[in-house]
Amino acid sequence: MKLFVDTGDVEEVRKAAEWGVLDGVTTNPTLIAKGGKGFKETVLKICELVPGGAISAEVIATDYDTMLKEALEVSSWHPQVVVKVPLIEPGVRLVKTLSDKGIRTNVTLVFTVSQALMAAKAGATYISNFVGRVDDLSTDGMTAVANTVAMVDTYGFQSEVLVASVRHPLHVVQAIEAGAHVATMPFKIMEMMFKHPLTDSGLTRFLDDWNKAGLTIG
Ligand code: G3P
């Protein structure tokens, strides 16, 4: 499964990229605004920090013509840019246009399998299924992920199912169980994926025993 970090903070991308396990970065208007730098500047810096990674940059307009202009603009910035498009009617139309041109897309704000079907049929590269925001409403967000993975497999769509709105490492585990292709998560969640108290206590004991014995390597 691919791991993406969900952030507009260049320093977080730098740290996650150093681990060598990062496949891409997703941004959204909220995260770019929070990052505090210009949109193009941030996206280009992220592309540089994650060579070959898929870097999602979202269009802002909600009418087809302006969305198309914005999509062509952001995709011209760097070959790694994936145009992020909301699942609205002009958005689906835009995804079809971009897909026909060979421009990669990430369809965002997807909550149901029927929405995901529209994105898949339009040729979306990634379908961003939001989980945490559904869980917040006392409903299981991961059900739509599992059903979307099944839908993509059953009908042979090329789209990858991307689990977004991830709130904790268990969401990542559940995304794996559902067979999702990608999980994007805040930097702090990716950091938490390393952690286990038994790893820490086990390592402390190994090193204590080693040092007590006065051993050295080489
Ligand atoms: O970028 C989309 C997504 O991952 C947002 O997550 O935590 O704002 O629901 P959240």
The alpha helices in the chain, defined as continuous H runs, are 10-18, 29-35, 39-49, 64-77, 89-100, 113-122, 132-135, 142-155, 169-177, 187-192, 197-212
| 179 close to ligand 1 (CB < 6 Angstrom) | no
Q: Can you give the pLDDT at residue 9?
A: 98
Ligand 1 atom showing the smallest separation from residue 184 Cα: 4
Confidence of residue 214 (pLDDT cuts 50, 70, 90): very high
Q: 17 Cβ partners below 8 Å, 6+ apart?
A: 49, 50
Question: What's the predicted TM-score (pTM) here?
Answer: 0.96
Token pair of 12 as six digits: 């977080």
Percent of the chain scoring above 90 in pLDDT: 100
Confidence of residue 104 (pLDDT cuts 50, 70, 90): very high
Closest CA to 15 of 194, 199, 196, 218: 194
- Distance CA(184)–CA(25), nearest Å, equals 8
Nearest residue by C-alpha to atom 10 in ligand 1: 165
Ligand 1 atom showing the smallest separation from residue 27 Cα: 1
Parallel/antiparallel/unpaired status of strands 160-164 and 54-58: unpaired
CATH topology of domain 2-212: TIM Barrel (3.20.20)
Nearest residue by C-alpha to atom 9 in ligand 1: 165
Q: What is the mean pLDDT of residues 41-59?
A: 98
Catalytic residues: 84
Q: Which phi and psi angles does 201 have, rounded to 5°? A: -70, -35
Q: Can you give the pLDDT at residue 181?
A: 98
Tell how far the Cα of 130 is from the centroid of ligand 1, in angstroms: 7
All structural domains of the chain with their residue ranges: 2-212
